[in-house]
């Protein structure tokens, strides 16, 4: 074989080896960069806010003021509308052995809430503690005194029957009064109530802390 031809082949092999050696680090360096971009994107997409009464993450702000609505629990009022969308629900005796619910809405805004019943003074105290807009249809004598003197921002179906409060034709009064979160906010604006001002947030356990508590029970 010609000496020049052999030399040419050797030089070509060396050049190819050098090129592949230079390309490998470049390809290795690109992988961490791609992974870093993905990780940064994931961090940006994580919600930075939480709803104060549930601890659930949210992309949007969570400063909306809560509404506390008196929900009927008479057998003729069931099934109720909107309870499953409430952040919190209190149940207490109203009269005899019949209970009523005080449903607190802040993170969700139901299109139908009810049936709505009359106010009681101890329910008003609960709503006041969360600085809610209190929603009812009627009142007891004690509750009327509190509402008349402006103890709490309130909307009463007695004064908005057929406007902000609608009657369902499927049920008999007094088990057929309904409203919506949209109508609650509309009424609040008409009366000049503040719509921002979320309740003070509750402290919630992390998943690890909750798991630790469950483990200690066994």
Number of neighbours of residue 76 by Cβ within 10 angstroms: 11
- pLDDT at residue 218 in the model: 62
Strand partners, 84: none
Element (H, E) at 8: helix 3-45
- pLDDT at residue 121 in the model: 98
pLDDT band at 49 (very low <50, low <70, confident <90, very high): confident
Residue 119 CB burial class (10 angstroms; 0-12, 13-18, ≥19): buried
Higher pLDDT, 158 or 211: 158
Lowest mean pLDDT among 2-11, 95-104, 172-181, 189-198: 2-11
- Whole-model pTM: value is 0.76
Least Cα distance to 95 among 70, 78, 113 occurs for 70
pLDDT band at 26 (very low <50, low <70, confident <90, very high): very low
Higher pLDDT, 75 or 46: 75
Residues 154-175: what's their mean pLDDT?
97
CB of 101 closer than 8 Å to CB of 135 = no
- pLDDT at residue 213 in the model: 80
pLDDT band at 7 (very low <50, low <70, confident <90, very high): very low
Instruction: Tokens for 40, please give them.
Output: 């940064």
Computed over every residue of the chain, the mean pLDDT equals: 85
- pLDDT at residue 25 in the model: 46
């Amino acid at each position: 074989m010609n000496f020049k031809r052999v030399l040419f082949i050797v030089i070509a092999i060396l050049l190819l080896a050098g090129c592949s050696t230079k390309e490998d680090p470049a390809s290795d360096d690109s992988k961490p960069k791609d992974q870093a971009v993905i990780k940064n994107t994931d961090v940006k997409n994580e919600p930075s806010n939480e709803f104060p009464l549930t601890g659930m993450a949210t992309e949007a702000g969570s400063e909306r003021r809560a509404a506390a609505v008196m929900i009927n629990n008479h057998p003729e009022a069931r099934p109720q509308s909107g309870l499953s969308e409430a952040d919190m629900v209190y149940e207490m005796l109203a009269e005899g052995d019949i209970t009523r619910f005080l449903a607190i809405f802040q993170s969700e805004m139901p299109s139908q809430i009810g049936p709505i019943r009359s106010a009681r003074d101890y329910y008003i105290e609960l709503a006041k503690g969360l600085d809610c807009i209190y929603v009812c249809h009627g009142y007891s004598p004690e509750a009327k005194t509190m509402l008349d003197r402006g103890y709490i921002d309130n909307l009463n179906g007695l004064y908005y029957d057929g406007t902000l409060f609608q009657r369902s034709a499927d049920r008999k009064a007094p088990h057929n009064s309904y409203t919506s979160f949209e109508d609650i906010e509309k009424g609040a604006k008409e009366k000049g109530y503040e719509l921002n001002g979320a309740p003070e947030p509750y402290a919630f356990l992390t998943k690890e802390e909750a798991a630790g508590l469950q483990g200690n029970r066994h």
